A and B are shown apart, each in its own frame.
Chain A
Amino acid sequence: MSTVTPVGVRDADVVTQTPPAAGRRGWVGYLTMPLILAVVLISLYLYVNGRELDSIEARSLNAAALSTAVGEHVALTAVSTVITLLIAVPLGILLTRPFTRRVRPFIITLLTLGQAVPTISVLVLLAVMFLFLGFQAAIVGLVLYAIIPVLLNTMVGLEQVDENVLEAGRGMGLSRFQVLRRLELPLAVPVILAGVRTALVINVGTATLATYINGGGLGDVIMAGLSTNRVLVQVVGAVLTSVLALLIDYLAGLAENLLQPKGLRSTRS
């Protein structure tokens, strides 16, 4: 395989999908995003409210239909994220144990290339190959797609833990398992939190496509607009999807800052 990561470039540089962690910000910084999102939602509401909706538009654009779509979207995102993390984080820990040292560059290259597999392919393949449609199929598709970036994140993050610290731990007489539990995992908490955020952001985006396999979610609203040729419905669906994605990313970022182990907080740049 000629595509191994060359010298001078660490594996960390191949992780894309992690949104950059927000740095230290004042309370103004914390309020910017919710304010922008609120303004967008209010203007959208006022605009739609001021329009005469025809019966087709009214069928999609009412509180009941929209809240169902949002509820389904949140459910798709939450369930798929939990399953993704349950699979990807332990697998990441397993794949960074010493016995995989030889094959690790190969695995990372493969995972990097795997990021090119289109999300829509994963969902659609389930549909056309196994005639597997609906909410559960969407969950399987979302998890299959999100595992790659989260796994990549976890592996790269664990590798970044300073080798000297681990050696110090072994020198103090800790067993391999104790080193993992008492040094590596706590030091990797930021990485795991970043993984949670990555999984959430990816899943909330991919869940939009669940509509293609009858999985529900906000994609339904966009599709309803597309199939009936109603631009207003399409735009409402797309804006709600974007607002939801940005809100989830924002909340995950907050959680990331709050849950950071205290001892590590000051070292972040």
Chain B
Amino acid sequence: MEFLEFLGNRADDLLEMGLAHAAIVGAAVLIATVIGVALGIATYRTERPREFVLAITGTFLTIPSFALFILLLGPLGLGWPPVLFALVLYGLLPVVRNTITGLREVDPAVIESAQGMGLNRRQRLLRIELPLAWPVVITGVRVTTLVLLGIAAIGAVVNGPGYGEMIFTGLARVGTPVAVNMVLAGTLGVIVLAVLFDLIFYTVQRLTTSRGIR
């Protein structure tokens, strides 16, 4: 009951933080998707570059977020720039990996028939391979979004936007009743965003998947 009261009192704050959290994650996902899909398309055919790109983007994901935010503090300062930059780096791997998986799993027979019908390399990619790989690609984007929502909360250590601020303020007040409310509200906020984003992706996936393979 007390928690609901808290949510009521802080509704404006919570909504504003939610919008900021969604905005920075949304922007990071968009950038990571553009770069990731491009890297995937550029490298999926040749083994060396493909493994190189996967190794590099995998390395980004290994670096602990707290450490990366601090390292970006020098070059990018406080606020959203270091958070956005770090989120893009973290978001690349799932997108690149799923783009490569998706494109490589297209049946060679299908590609051969496309070739036989006279489609050139570009037409094959745009009209055959990408549409067939699309569901896998978009699943990568969806997973990236979920992971980034969680990491964005840690962005509060460099004054990043979003629910992280609520969680860290709660921690600073440990021992007081309001602390539990703040941390719960911040966590719940992130989970609500996760469900909302997932629903959006489900819809986007349905709408953008070629009708033949739905």
A86-120 CB contacts (< 8 Å) to partner B? 112-113, 115-120
**Secondary structure at chain B's binding surface: helix, strand, loop or mixed?**
helix
Residue from B55, B59, B143 in contact with A115 in the complex, judged by beta carbons closer than 8 Å:
B143
> For residue A238, which residues in chain B have a CB less than 8 angstroms away from its CB?
66-68, 70-71
- Contact A117:B174 (CB < 8 A) given known A2-B202, A8-B135: no
Q: Is the CB of B174 within 8 A of A16?
A: no
The smallest beta-carbon distance between B2 and chain A, in angstroms, is 13
The smallest beta-carbon distance between B170 and chain A, in angstroms, is 6
Measured CA separation A116–B206 after assembly (Å):
22
Q: Is the CB of B65 within 8 A of A205?
A: yes
A128 at the interface (CB under 8 A from B): yes
> For residue A35, which residues in chain B have a CB less than 8 angstroms away from its CB?
none
Residue from B58, B173, B190, B194 in contact with A121 in the complex, judged by beta carbons closer than 8 Å:
B190
Q: Which of A13, A121, A124, A208 has the most chain B CB atoms closer than 10 A to its own CB?
A: A121
> For residue B146, which residues in chain A have a CB less than 8 angstroms away from its CB?
16, 112-113, 115-116
- Contact A222:B61 (CB < 8 A) given known A6-B206, A13-B101, A113-B198: no
Tally of A interface residues using CB under 8 Å: 53
> For residue B152, which residues in chain A have a CB less than 8 angstroms away from its CB?
118
Say which size band chain B's interface belongs to: 35 or more
B125 at the interface (CB under 8 A from A): no
Spell out A's residues near B (CB within 8 Å): 2-3, 5-9, 13-17, 19-20, 22-23, 112-113, 115-121, 124-125, 127-129, 131, 201, 204-206, 208-209, 212, 219, 222, 225-226, 231, 234-235, 237-239, 241-242, 245-246, 249
Q: Closest 9 CB pairs between A and B?
A: A116-B194, A118-B153, A205-B64, A238-B67, A121-B187, A241-B67, A238-B70, A116-B146, A128-B179
